[in-house]
Structure 1
Amino acid sequence: MSESIIAKKSFEFAISIVNFYKKFSLEKKEFILSKQILRSGTSVGANVREALNAQSRMDFIHKLSISQKESDETIYWLELLFATDYISQDEFNSLKNPALEILKMIRSIIITTKSKNS
């Protein structure tokens, strides 16, 4: 059950990131940071999807671990954009809050899966 929820949330987050990228790159004319957040933000859901099709429990954990790293990287780029006044507090919160929720969910799934492995 958790995996389908995380797949849905990470896909919705990827949509938000793509829309953010489109608007941000057009309005701010900033392409380096915006591409970084586009890559990491969409990679979260892609790796969750790969995890759901894992060949083993260890492969599942590995793919989710990549997704966890990408989630954290996305939060880093958001924090950087906010700290350098590229985005407003509202824009920051609207993306950081779901990113944190996804990150916590992924960590929980990894911990639960690992404990079943022992």
Structure 2
Amino acid sequence: MKPNQLENRLIQFAIDVIMVCRIKDNSFASVHLAKQHIRSATSVVLNYGEAQGGKSARDFLHKMKICLKELRECLINMKIQKGAKLITDIGAFR
């Protein structure tokens, strides 16, 4: 995969998360998890952009590890929301 393709996919992922978070109810749990989910999802692509400008291979790897950490956080957040039935109709945002 070319670097530009990965960047575009990460941008689309962040957009998709934002769109899913727009259709949530206004409960404390939904709002709390939605805000954190958006921060994590957008952090991935922003850190990826930083990694592209890394000063060394070590710096690049460090920033990519941060991206992976944020992606794991997104996955766990989605599992929590799914388990708590806070995500109900994902197909509605596309």
Q: Secondary structure at the match of 1:31?
A: helix
Structure 1 unmatched ranges of 5 or more: 93-118
Sequence identity, in percent?
30
What amino acid sits opposite 2:70 in the alignment? E
**How far does the alpha carbon of each residue in 1:18-69 deviate from its partner, in whole angstroms, 9 at most, with x for none?**
2222222xxx013111111111111111111111111111111111100000
* Structure 2 unaligned spans of 5+: none
- The 3-state SS of whatever aligns with 2:23 is helix
What is the TM-score with the length of structure 1 in the denominator?
A: 0.68
With structure 2 as the length reference, what TM-score do the two structures score? 0.84
Alignment partner, residue 52 of structure 2: 52
Summarize the alignment of residues 13-92 of structure 1 with structure 2, pairs less than 5 Å apart.
Answer: 13-24=13-24, 28-29=25-26, 30-88=30-88, 91=90
How many residues were matched structurally?
A: 89
Tell me how large the CA RMSD over aligned residues is.
1.9
The one-letter amino acid of 1:54's match is G
Could you tell me how far apart the structure 2 residues matched to 1:4 and 1:74 are?
22
Specify which structure has the higher proportion of helix: 1
Distance (Å, rounded) in 1 between the aligned partners of 2:23 and 2:50: 28
Aligned-partner Cα distance in 2 for 1:50–1:32: 27
- d(CA) in 2 for partners of 1:3 and 1:59? 17
